[in-house]
Structure 1
Amino acid sequence: MTRLDPATLCEVVADQPYPLLFATVSGAHLYGFPSRDSDVDLRGAHLLPAVEVVGLRQGPATLDRSWTRHGVEIDLVTHDAAKFARMLLQRNGYVLEQLLSPLVVLTGEAHAELVALAPGCLTRHHAHHYLGFAQTQRRLHDRTGELKPLLYTFRTLLTGIHLMRTGRLVAHLPTLAAELAEAPAYLGTLVAAKAAGEHDRLAGVPDAPGVDRLGTDLVALESVLDHARQASRLPERPTAEPALHDLLVRIRLAAVPGR
């Protein structure tokens, strides 16, 4: 699988046009099924200076840059702190997974505060995010036959189920497969097969489940997720908005020269 070289990743995030609040590894490495030819997906938040926020000329709310290092493509996507905070307050599992990723490349006090506020961003409606993404990935697998979207489908459904039941966000598929009784036993086989190639197909995996078995299992997991949402003790709405607002104001003003 793709080797994550800490020095290379630190070099990449250090050379940015705006200060970063944090940068973490997302994508297949976070999800527990990278291939030997996987890209490295870095995600994070940057901080625009006040002059590029309060005037007529606005700085970039999102930055997307790519590099190739030692034959590995590295992709870095960051959002300005305000956009990132707004996304946290929506039913957006992506940004929560990025914020809470244990694969940390760059951190600081603001990152730690954001992590502490993350539980107040969770709602039962995040189940809709995970169900919608799973359905999109399943259609992609049906069209291509590739392992990657199939594993994404299982991963998102299991992440949603686990989140609704426990209030904890776990994005790592092998961990989810070990903790959730509903996870099919063949997931370990599929994860091991996907390590051989980013675009390898299910048809090439010995003892792979058939189309009917996959369909039955995925429909069952969608039902489990829906029931978990209905029974979840997570709130209807996020509670972290006041604290996120205060944090954003504080870190933006702290960056103003002369203050």
Structure 2
Amino acid sequence: MTNLDFELLRTVVQTGPHPLFATVSGAHLYGFPSPDSDVDLRGAFVLPVPDLLRLQEPQETITITQSCAGAEVNWVAHDLRKFARLMTRHNGYVLEQLYSPLVVHGGPWLEELRAIGQGCVTRHLYHHYLGFAKAQRKLLTKPAPTVKELLYAYRVLLTGIHVLRTGEVETNLRVLTQHHPQPGIAELIKWKWTPWPSL
């Protein structure tokens, strides 16, 4: 799916606990969706009080997968306590979700979390992006790496460079290459649409 139907996506995020916020992540956020791309929804919710008062540990993460308009939609959300814990541990994934401009469900909670999140955008994110970049580089050493894997490698490297230089969490590869030009990115994005799976 390349064009997002936000009304349809709102029905998906309402199938679990009431969300504090829900945003689009993955290829759509990164600026290179293709017709076969899944839609990745991420966010946070608050566990009901009875769930917190039980003896067993509550379920801190929900995962819901639905088929919508011919595309698979994956809705993954963390309880607010877990989401805050990940933020304070300089987890770039949750910060990217928090600052995604593709908002499916927002409001005062999202604005407040974004304000709090600014305190988590520090140089310690270097470790997150370095680890992620190493993992992506390893994928590129296997036989027949894909265009998608190369785009993900560029995306994570440029996001890491950008956030460390500016303090801004930017994940869209098209926007990132305006600030940090890299020859060949536009061509790679076009190739992702072609039937050829490998480089």
Q: TM-score when scaled to structure 2?
A: 0.94
1:144-193 alpha-carbon deviations (Å, 9 max, x no partner): 4101111111111111111111111110111111111xx42111111121
2:197 alignment counterpart: 200
- Structure-2 separation of matches of 1:132 and 1:196: 30
3-state DSSP of counterpart to 1:168: coil
1:188 alignment counterpart: 186
Report the alpha carbon displacement of residue 123 of structure 1 after superposing the two structures with TM. Answer: 1.5
Q: Would the alpha carbon gap of residues 149 and 136 (structure 1) be closer, same or farther in structure 2, given more than 3 Å must change?
A: same
> Does the 8 Å contact 1:145/1:201 carry over to 2?
yes
Between structures 1 and 2, the one with greater helix share: 1
**Percent identity between the aligned chains?**
48
> Does the 8 Å contact 1:35/1:196 carry over to 2?
no
1:85 alignment counterpart: 84
1:128 alignment counterpart: 127
> Does the 8 Å contact 1:91/1:125 carry over to 2?
yes
- Structure-1 separation of matches of 2:133 and 2:47: 34
3-state DSSP of counterpart to 2:136: helix
1:47-81 alpha-carbon deviations (Å, 9 max, x no partner): 10122113313331011111111210000100000
1:38 alignment counterpart: 37
Report the alpha carbon displacement of residue 37 of structure 1 after superposing the two structures with TM. Answer: 0.5
1:208 alignment counterpart: none
Report the alpha carbon displacement of residue 7 of structure 1 after superposing the two structures with TM. Answer: 1.9
- Structure-2 separation of matches of 1:3 and 1:9: 12
1:67 alignment counterpart: 66
3-state DSSP of counterpart to 2:97: helix
Higher-Rg structure is 1
- Structure-2 separation of matches of 1:188 and 1:148: 13
- Structure-1 separation of matches of 2:110 and 2:90: 20
- Structure-2 separation of matches of 1:128 and 1:196: 34
> Does the 8 Å contact 1:2/1:39 carry over to 2?
no
1:107 alignment counterpart: 106
> Does the 8 Å contact 1:127/1:164 carry over to 2?
yes
- Structure-1 separation of matches of 2:183 and 2:47: 47
- Structure-2 separation of matches of 1:8 and 1:121: 32
> Does the 8 Å contact 1:88/1:121 carry over to 2?
yes
- Structure-2 separation of matches of 1:20 and 1:193: 36
- Structure-1 separation of matches of 2:132 and 2:173: 15
Letter in 2 for 1:39: D
> Does the 8 Å contact 1:36/1:196 carry over to 2?
no
Q: Which runs of 4+ in 1 moved over 6 A?
A: none
1:117 alignment counterpart: 116
Greater CA drift, 46-55 or 113-122 = 46-55
- Structure-1 separation of matches of 2:12 and 2:55: 30
- Structure-2 separation of matches of 1:127 and 1:149: 21
- Structure-2 separation of matches of 1:15 and 1:111: 19
- Structure-1 separation of matches of 2:131 and 2:103: 27
3-state DSSP of counterpart to 2:44: strand
3-state DSSP of counterpart to 1:60: coil
- Structure-2 separation of matches of 1:134 and 1:153: 6
1:221 alignment counterpart: none
Aligned length: 198
3-state DSSP of counterpart to 1:64: strand
1:14-65 alpha-carbon deviations (Å, 9 max, x no partner): 222x111000000010000111110000000111012211331333101111
Report the alpha carbon displacement of residue 108 of structure 1 after superposing the two structures with TM. Answer: 2.2
